[in-house]
Copies of this chain bind each other. A is one copy, B any other.
């Protein structure tokens, strides 16, 4: 399934079973697009990865080493999905982390599977996201909530699901951030309690500033989507995708999403 994989710099598809990434989900990941032979927004992905290491107290890998491994795995490839996992490391038993532990690096390239460009059909997820400000924003490996969310529908029944937190705030789609246009203002959940600070989300917020479009990160509620004139979702691999429906809600506007995609020169790989 993988086109190439390096574990701690060595070609391998096997990891120590006592790695804390497996034992406790004690690590982080990044999913990055390789398009036209270039790794898109790599600096942003690495910045978030290292910020996550810092937040969890994981010894960050050497940046030059990691970049070298990424270059090796993507060499000669035109397109694909690059997945980077960094865990706290292997060994020991029990939750207590050791400061001395060397982190584990998994750098893998997967095939890119194009998805339809038409407006997406979304649904509300039943499972809620637990709130924990200490884990909010970073892309850690504790993802059971997203796994259960995606198992709520069969492939083909919907393109994505929108997740609320346990208090009913809108947070994200299962693997994308959510934006709404309301009275000409671009809004997106502030992710102070849960959700991932997406790389594409940050690019959209920066592009909005350049385009002089007012954008706001704030608490969002289902009502804010119900009253939106346009909705789109963002993901580092799939880009900016207009939303056509969310259960019974429907949108035909795609103007802001299109302006953003043009401003960011996004194109399918």
Residues of A at the B interface (CB closer than 8 Å) are 1-2, 5, 7, 12-26, 29, 56-57, 81, 83, 85, 87-88, 91-97, 106, 108, 110, 127-132, 134-135, 140-151, 155, 166, 174-175, 194
Contacts and interface: CB of A to CB of B under 8 A. Distances in A.
A94 B21 CA distance: 17
Contacts of A131: 130-131, 166
A143 B95 contact: yes
B143 A174 contact: no
Contacts of A21: 22
Contacts of A175: 94-95
B17 A15 contact: yes
Given A17-B5, A92-B1, A130-B194, A135 B141 contact: no
Contacts of A25: 24-25, 141-144
A22 B18 CA distance: 11
Contact of A13 (B18, B132, B147, B151): B18
A232 to B, nearest CB: 20
Contacts of A93: 1, 81, 83, 110
24 contacts: A1-B91, A1-B93, A5-B17, A7-B17, A13-B18, A15-B16, A15-B19, A17-B85, A17-B108, A23-B85, A23-B143, A88-B147, A94-B175, A96-B150, A96-B151, A97-B147, A128-B134, A130-B194, A131-B131, A132-B145, A135-B145, A140-B144, A141-B144, A142-B143
Nearest to A132: B130
Contacts of A56: 144, 147-148
B18 A16 contact: no
